[in-house]
Structures are given as structure tokens and as C-alpha cells.
Amino acid sequence: MSSVTSLPYHCLVAAPHTPFHDDGSLATEIIALQASHLAAQNVRAVFITGTTGESSSLSLAERMEVYRSWAQVAGSHGIRVIAHVGANALTDACALAELAQELRFDAISALAPSYFKPATSESLVQCCAKIAAAAPALPFYYYQIPVLTGVRFPMADFVARAAEQIPTFRGIKFTDPDLVAYRRCLAMNGGAFDLPWGVDEILLGALATGARGGVGSTYNFMAGLAHAIIAAFDAGDWEKARTLQSQMIAIIDALDAVGYLGAAKAVMGWLGVPVGKARLPLGNPSPQTLEGLRAKLEALGFFAWTIPCPER
């Protein structure tokens, strides 16, 4: 490993939405509200322009604009920034990595190219090494999300190769429900790698497996529930932890049933952070559907875990 200094993400990391105006253009003026809202929920780290941030629907210029906007506001709220830089074009990924370093973000992360997919674990490591080399002063995290990329290799093999070939490799944003693979990676090199968990519905299972932090979209609007699950786990109150995890699953199921990302962005608007609608090809629930969703979320106790934005 290199001498790059990094702190592990043993905390909740929100994956913030990219805000849009009604016409679909960027609404970067909302990012300050997002930062304020997250800080009020005791969330002190963000993973920007990832899946929740609709990175695959953003141009390179738009992603850079989002980076610059977060750079302007994160520090004043005590928020660490992981810049997701992954792209099908490695030249774009490298340009984003260079900008992330210029802006002094805390780390970079990249998912696998997913149109022309790497054929082997070694090829994937080579892609990651090229990206990481563009920001040699920043820790690098691979973003494992095979349900969307279709790229599936044994992660323990990837970690072993990445640790040898990427000086700044620090770990994986592990958005994959395979807890066996997760445990294998956690145990490698005496627990040397940082593996923030990325499947909110299995947070409790991941904690039991050894997770110490997580990156998730639901931490935008119900971080309190995740904090409560972690607190119950730490206290050894398994019954409470299971009950709270079931509540989180039910809430996510309700959002999924009407189109998760569009629904989640609508929820942010209800909390005073108007991040707009999801971009095509994603859809958005109708006003009537959102009325029904709100009633269901109220019945599930969702709003007991939310904090309206303090600046609204």
C-alpha cells in the first residue's frame, strides 16, 4: 500500500440524489440544502454521482459540475466526499478522478465498465488501476454492484490482485448481497481492507458478518432508522434490531413498488429538499400514486425516522 492517508468509512455514508429542475437540467443550487439536511441527520460522508446520483444519465460535464458544487459546501458541514468516477469510457473516469483530486475530495470509487465488460478479474483490476493512477493522492475503492453492471468475479480474488497492483487500493463499496464473499474479503490480510456495506435491506446481516459502515440511498431520508439498527446491534438487543430491520425492508418495498428512485426523490421533496424527478429512462410515480405511497409510509411509521431539512 502507498503512503496515502485515509480514514475508514466506519459510518453511514449517504448516496445523494443529483438534483434536477423541472426541465431536467441540473439544480446544483440544491446541493447546499442536501448537505445541511444530511448533517442534521448525523450523516458526515457522501458518495456522489453513483447509482442513486444517476451517474449513467449524466454527461461528463454535468458530473464535473456536481463535483464542484459538493466541493463548495461539504467542508462547512463536516462532510467527507467519496467521488464515484466510474464510466464506460475510462478516459472519462480518469478525467473525473483527476478533478476529484484537484478538489481535494477524500476518496474515489469506480464501478466496472458494463457495456464492454472486463472478461477476467485481472482485466477489471487493470481498469481500476488506470483510474486510480489518475488520482494518486486519493484512496481508491472498487464499487461492486453486479446486479447493474453484470460483472461478477470472486471478490476475494479481485482484492488480492488489486492490493498488489493498485497502490491506493483501500477496499470495496460492497453492494452485493453475497455475505459469504463479503466475509471472505473482510478476513483478508488481517482485516486490512475497508468494505462499507451497500445493501440497506441487509444492514443487520452485514453488521453480524463484520460490517462497520455502510453506503446507502435510504440514508438520505431515514438515516435515523439505520442509526437505530446499529445502536441495537451494538447493545446486543437482537430483537429490537430485527424489528427495525423489518421496518426498513417494508419501507423500501413500498418505494420499490412504485419505482424506487422516482419515489425516493419525491420523498426528499416532502422533507424540504426538492431534488426533482428521476431522468429517463427511469420513471416517476404519478401524483395519485404518491398520495397512496405517502399514506402507506405513514402507516409503516416512516416519518418517525425522518428529519425535515433545517433550512426549509
Record the cell numbers describing residue 171, joined without a space: 477496499
Q: Is residue 83 part of a domain?
A: yes
* Cβ atoms of residues 211 and 191 within 8 Å: no
Q: Is residue 53 part of a domain?
A: yes
**Omega before 154 within 30 of 0, i.e. cis:** no
Which pLDDT score, from 0 to 100, does residue 96 have? 98
Contacts of 15 (CB under 8 A, 6+ apart): 46, 47, 48, 50, 51, 52, 53, 215, 216, 217, 219, 220
Q: Is-catalytic flag, 182?
A: no
Q: Is residue 265 part of a domain?
A: no
CATH for 140? 3.20.20.70
Q: Is residue 175 part of a domain?
A: yes
Q: Is-catalytic flag, 143?
A: yes
Q: Is residue 239 part of a domain?
A: no
- The DSSP line for 33-94 is HHHHHHHHTT--EEEETSTTTTGGGS-HHHHHHHHHHHHHHTGGGT-EEEEE---SSHHHHH
What angle in degrees, to the nearest 10, is found between the helix axes of 223-234 and 238-256?
A: 160
At CA 193, angle to CA 18 and CA 199, rounded to 5? 45
The pTM of this model reads 0.95
Q: Is residue 74 part of a domain?
A: yes
Q: Is residue 259 part of a domain?
A: no
User: Average pLDDT in the 64-69 region?
Assistant: 98
Q: Which residue type does 101 have? A: Q
Query: What mean pLDDT is reported for the chain?
Result: 95
First to last CA, the chain: 45
State pLDDT tens for residues 257-291: 999 999 999 999 999 999 999 999 999 999 999 99
Record the cell numbers describing residue 213, joined without a space: 459502515
Phi, psi of 107, rounded to the nearest 5 degrees: -165, 165
Q: Within a 10 A sphere around the Cβ of 24, how many other Cβ atoms?
A: 13
Find the catalytic residue in 67, 173, 219, 260: 173
Contacts of 254 (CB under 8 A, 6+ apart): 293, 296, 297, 300
- Alpha-carbon dihedral 142, 144, 148, 149, rounded to 10 degrees: 60
Judge whether residue 223 has pLDDT over 80: yes
**Residue-number span of the structural domain to which 207 is assigned:** 12-223
What angle in degrees, to the nearest 10, is found between the helix axes of 90-102 and 121-133?
A: 40
Judge whether residue 236 has pLDDT over 50: yes
State pLDDT tens for residues 123-155: 999 999 999 999 999 999 999 999 999 999 999
Find the catalytic residue in 9, 142, 143, 219: 143
Judge whether residue 307 has pLDDT over 80: no
Which pLDDT score, from 0 to 100, does residue 309 have? 58
Q: How many structural domains compose the chain? A: 1
Q: Is residue 131 part of a domain?
A: yes
